[in-house]
Amino acid sequence: MSYQVLARKWRPRKFAEMVGQEHVLRALINALDNDRLHHAYLFTGTRGVGKTTVARIFAKSLNCESGVSAEPCGQCTACTEIDEGRFVDLIEVDAASRTKVEDTRELLDNVQYAPTRGRYKVYLIDEVHMLSAHSFNALLKTLEEPPPHVKFLLATTDPQKLPATVLSRCLQFNLKRLPIPLISAHLETLLAAESIDAEPAALRLLARAADGSMRDALSLLDQAIAFGDGGVKENEVRAMLGTIERGHVVEILSALAAVDASAVLAVVDRLSQQAPDYEGLLAELLASLQQIAIAQVAPDAIDEHVEDRDTLLDLARRMDPEDVQLYYQIGLVGRRDLPLSPEPRGGLEMILLRMLAFRPVSGQPAEAPARAVGVRAGGGGSASAATTGGGGAGAAAKPAEAPAARQALSEDADWSALVECMQLKGILSELAMNCALESRADGHWQLSLDAAHQQLLSKARQQQLETRLGECLGKAVRLEISVREAEVLTPAMQRQREAEQRQAGAVEAIVSDPNVKAFQKTFDATLHDETIRPLDGLDS
């Protein structure tokens, strides 16, 4: 007996054998069991998700000799002939090869005649969007007023190309891409029935490469079995697919977490000796960054079966959320531009170096003297002046300089000083700035957060803040944050008050400046003090 490919051998022959697509199956099963049948159904979705399979099972349910139901017997003449593709009243048409209006008219010439053997005459038109405009017009009249013995089952991967007049006359069902765990589990079940050994990691690789298509997954599985001489192993599947060994992706992520450009380039150098698929490597890197981002906000959402789960969770703790988001965005844009680079390796290196080059610099610059400026005057003339509006000392740190190393502070240090020591960024910084220190004793710290900023608080961010605070103090602490009105000023309030004081000082400096007064008197100018802003970081 000749070999039958897995995609055909394991093609579902009843709804119960379908994998996924429950939202479509439920509607069809209820319609069949309750005799609420429409005359035209449209099944949409990407390739290999089950559009034609669902349509054939539906045709079998309509024409089974045991009666119309969601569970055809599978034994009668109608069921077996439909399974074998030779049932006379199931007319299957590939619209991609029959696009002309003459083909459509020829197809519809026999619509008015009763079925030869079955209960219904079923027209299954695959890739229906390929029909020409004239063909749709010819089909439309029949869709509007079909004979009672005719059912139309249309399938397409591109429903947007169908005329609205056709769409409005069909019940439309969108079949979704199948998730990786579902495909992997089905492949495992299938191989167990086939008595073929397989490694779970290899099946996950095949499921990911299938990109949501079960048919593609089965075709790749056939290829993997042949490649592996009857077995399915991870290293052989990687070699067959040309995917990168997972360890290299983890090495790159670790180097990014350590902000070590030399280590990043060293990994790429080792990879280049294997002539890798650089675009595939970047895709793997992006997938891992996405998992890390999820782990940072909801660690429990990372499934236990995810590859290198523990490593991803560790990287999530080591990397700042802002960095992860930046790396992902740069990688996403870089993947688009990679084909434009002079050579793939150099393109990948530039993408990775760009991630580090644009990474925000940690640490706050020292406070610099405030300056004030007055901007234009109205009325009969204009006035502009600048003078010192506040005091301070220290020079601003350059962005190119390395961040200052954290130094352990005393446990009784002011909360604002501790926030500065922690060198926080993004949402975590906002959370700390809007908290007030209520109490601290025996390693237990109690903070309060105003209800207006409670959206900043999450369990993960509280844990991150606890870790960073412990690093600043040089010892572990237990941190609790309660949402209630603060009894003392928060660092954000303090900064706001200082900003208001600097603003008032700047305005006073401009208004009282004798040159400005003379300018106003001479030109009858009006000073717009709302345009005065203190400028930080400029020398006198």
What's 269's domain CATH number? 1.20.272.10
Q: Which residue has the higher pLDDT, 62 or 310?
A: 62
Give residue 390's pLDDT band: very low, low, confident or very high (50, 70, 90).
very low
pLDDT tens-digit readout, 152-161: 999 999 999 9
The pLDDT score that the predictor gives to residue 407 is: 56
Tell me, yes or no, whether 229 and 277 share the same domain: no
How many domains does the chain contain in total?
5
The pLDDT score that the predictor gives to residue 304 is: 67
Pick from 130, 153, 174: which residue ends a domain? 174
| 63 contacts 82 by C-beta, under 8 angstroms | yes
Q: What is the mean pLDDT of residues 492-518?
A: 87
Given a cut of 80, whether residue 500 has pLDDT beyond it is yes
pLDDT tens-digit readout, 252-263: 999 999 889 999
Percentage of the chain lying above the pLDDT 90 cut? 34
Q: Which residue has the higher pLDDT, 538 or 145?
A: 145
CATH code (residue 146): 3.40.50.300
pLDDT tens-digit readout, 106-118: 778 788 888 888 8
Tell me, yes or no, whether 104 and 151 share the same domain: yes
pLDDT tens-digit readout, 8-48: 889 999 999 999 899 999 999 999 998 899 999 999 999 99
* Residue 474 is assigned to a structural domain of this protein: yes
Given a cut of 90, whether residue 354 has pLDDT beyond it is yes
H helix or E strand, kind and range, residue 77: helix 77-83
* Residue 405 is assigned to a structural domain of this protein: no
Q: What is the mean pLDDT of residues 374-389?
A: 39
Q: Which of 171-175, 403-407, 510-514 has the weakest average pLDDT?
A: 403-407
Q: What is the mean pLDDT of residues 68-85?
A: 90
Tell me, yes or no, whether 269 and 350 share the same domain: yes
Tell me, yes or no, whether 76 and 165 share the same domain: yes
309: containing domain: 246-357
Instruction: Give whole-number Cα distances, 76 to 65, 81, 118, 508, in Å.
Output: 6, 9, 11, 97
Tell me, yes or no, whether 151 and 23 share the same domain: yes
Q: Which residue from 423, 537, 400 is spatially nearest to 471, judged by alpha carbons?
A: 423
The pLDDT score that the predictor gives to residue 374 is: 42
The pLDDT score that the predictor gives to residue 143 is: 87
Give residue 475's pLDDT band: very low, low, confident or very high (50, 70, 90).
confident
Q: What mean pLDDT value characterizes the chain? A: 83
Q: Write down the pTM of the prediction.
A: 0.59
SS3 string, 128-164, reads: HHHCCHHHHHHHHHHHHCCCCCEEEEEEECCHHHCCH
Given a cut of 80, whether residue 516 has pLDDT beyond it is yes
* Residue 149 is assigned to a structural domain of this protein: yes
Strand pairing class (525-527; 377-379): antiparallel
d(CA 145, CA 125): 18
Strand pairing class (533-536; 385-388): unpaired
Q: What is the mean pLDDT of residues 199-224?
A: 90
Residue type, 47: R
Q: Which of 395-409, 434-448, 493-507, 519-533 has the weakest average pLDDT?
A: 395-409
Given a cut of 70, whether residue 432 has pLDDT beyond it is yes
Tell me, yes or no, whether 203 and 165 share the same domain: no
Tell me, yes or no, whether 160 and 43 share the same domain: yes
- Give alpha helix (H) positions in 406-487: 415-422, 426-433, 459-473
Given a cut of 80, whether residue 203 has pLDDT beyond it is yes
CATH code (residue 199): 1.10.8.60
Tell me, yes or no, whether 209 and 340 share the same domain: no
Give residue 408's pLDDT band: very low, low, confident or very high (50, 70, 90).
low
Q: Which residue from 63, 104, 53, 70 is spatially nearest to 87, judged by alpha carbons?
A: 63
Tell me, yes or no, whether 435 and 477 share the same domain: yes
Six token digits for residue 363: 């640490």
pLDDT tens-digit readout, 159-183: 999 999 999 999 999 999 999 889 9
* Residue 407 is assigned to a structural domain of this protein: no
d(CA 387, CA 516): 10
Six token digits for residue 344: 């793939």
The pLDDT score that the predictor gives to residue 364 is: 40
pLDDT tens-digit readout, 277-303: 888 889 889 989 998 998 888 887 776
d(CA 209, CA 216): 8
The pLDDT score that the predictor gives to residue 489 is: 83
The pLDDT score that the predictor gives to residue 238 is: 83
DSSP, residue by residue, 283-331:
HHHHHHHHHHHHHHH-GGGS-TTSTTHHHHHHHHHHS-HHHHHHHHHHH
| 28 contacts 69 by C-beta, under 8 angstroms | no
Given a cut of 90, whether residue 349 has pLDDT beyond it is yes
The pLDDT score that the predictor gives to residue 536 is: 61
Percentage of the chain lying above the pLDDT 70 cut? 89
In eight-state DSSP terms, residue 232 is B
Tell me, yes or no, whether 203 and 329 share the same domain: no
* Residue 409 is assigned to a structural domain of this protein: no
Tell me, yes or no, whether 125 and 30 share the same domain: yes
* Residue 402 is assigned to a structural domain of this protein: no
Tell me, yes or no, whether 190 and 159 share the same domain: no
Question: Taken in order 524, 529, 531, 535, is the CA torsion positive or negative?
Answer: positive
Give residue 368's pLDDT band: very low, low, confident or very high (50, 70, 90).
very low
* Residue 404 is assigned to a structural domain of this protein: no
Give residue 383's pLDDT band: very low, low, confident or very high (50, 70, 90).
very low
* Residue 132 is assigned to a structural domain of this protein: yes
Q: Give the contacts of 158 (CB within 8 A, at least 6 positions apart).
A: 129
The pLDDT score that the predictor gives to residue 376 is: 39
